[in-house]
Structure 1
């Protein structure tokens, strides 16, 4: 579960970037794995999601949000949950 205490609050300016996101209207199933998804299906879904992210004008804001609130699931900012977790661990180890 995301750390709700880290969410920026109700101020619209914190969320306005989402209106410009390339994923708007794509559907959550493209970014979040369903129960029982196989490894090859997951890899294919994640690559397709990352392709959407690659063309996104707000990629950096999306990734920053996901890292700040520790989004536990899905592809955010072009990274899977495993990749985000690894990035945070690497950053912590370097500090």
Structure 2
């Protein structure tokens, strides 16, 4: 689970070094950085409604979705889309 998207944070167990990867700077401004990870990585079968609500208000949503699609993120809500929605989007666009 993610603690926060901070300079030295963890996303799904992956260490992110924000200073080394400027393309990830959007994470510092994302609303999810101020919200608990439980919303964005719920237990299987749980609702993602709260995460999507937060995403709709976030200005970083397009960058987040782009990152998730480019990095084939398979778990959690990214850019306002669930795993199934991102899967459908990838297959709809022929990726």
Same fold (TM over 0.5): yes
Who is 1:21 aligned against?
30
Normalized per residue, the structure richer in strand is 2
In 2, Cα distance between equivalents of 1:71 and 1:29: 17
CA shift for structure 1 position 19: 0.7
| TM-score w.r.t. length of structure 1 | 0.74
How do residues 1-95 of structure 1 correspond to structure 2 at under 5 angstroms? 11-34=20-43, 37=44, 39=45, 42-43=46-47, 46-92=48-94
Larger radius of gyration: 1
Gaps of 5+ in 1: 5-9
Normalized per residue, the structure richer in helix is 1
| TM-score w.r.t. length of structure 2 | 0.74
Aligned length: 80
1:55-85 per-residue CA deviation (whole Å, 9 max, x = no partner) reads 0011000000000000010000000000000
CA shift for structure 1 position 27: 1.4
What RMSD, in angstroms, separates the aligned Cα atoms of the two structures?
A: 2.3
Q: Which runs of structure 1 show a deviation greater than 4 angstroms over 4 or more consecutive aligned residues?
A: none
Gaps of 5+ in 2: 1-11
